[in-house]
């Protein structure tokens, strides 16, 4: 069983600013760039796929694809 390993890994939180998250074009772009499908373009804009968050590889493609400061990747380390 490897479930325990995840508990000691890096936890990621992704924040999308509320104006940006309502942008359908940005939603489509984020859905396209993220290699692990953390973003999806929903009816109301950017949606975060929470169950994929721990797959984030910190590639910053989403941050680069969005306007300055609109997407933030926050690293939460288990102590």
Least gap, CB of 39 to ligand SF4 (angstroms): 7
Least gap, CB of 77 to ligand SF4 (angstroms): 16
Nearer Cβ to ligand SF4, position 1 or 65?
65
Nearer Cβ to ligand SF4, position 28 or 33?
33
Chain contacts with ligand SF4 (rule: CB under 6 A): 14, 33-36, 38, 56-62, 73
Long-range CB contacts (within 8 A, 24+) of 33-40: 33/61, 33/62, 33/65, 34/61, 34/62, 35/59, 35/61, 38/14, 38/62
Six-digit token string for 22 = 């309502």
């Amino acid at each position: 069983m490897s479930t325990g390993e995840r508990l000691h890994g890096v936890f990621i939180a992704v924040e999308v600013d509320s104006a940006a998250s309502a942008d359908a074009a940005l939603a489509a772009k984020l859905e396209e760039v993220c290699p692990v499908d953390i973003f999806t373009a929903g009816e109301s804009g950017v949606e975060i796929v929470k169950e994929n968050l721990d797959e984030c590889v910190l590639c910053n493609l989403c941050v680069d694809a969005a306007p300055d400061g609109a997407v933030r990747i926050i690293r939460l380390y288990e102590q």
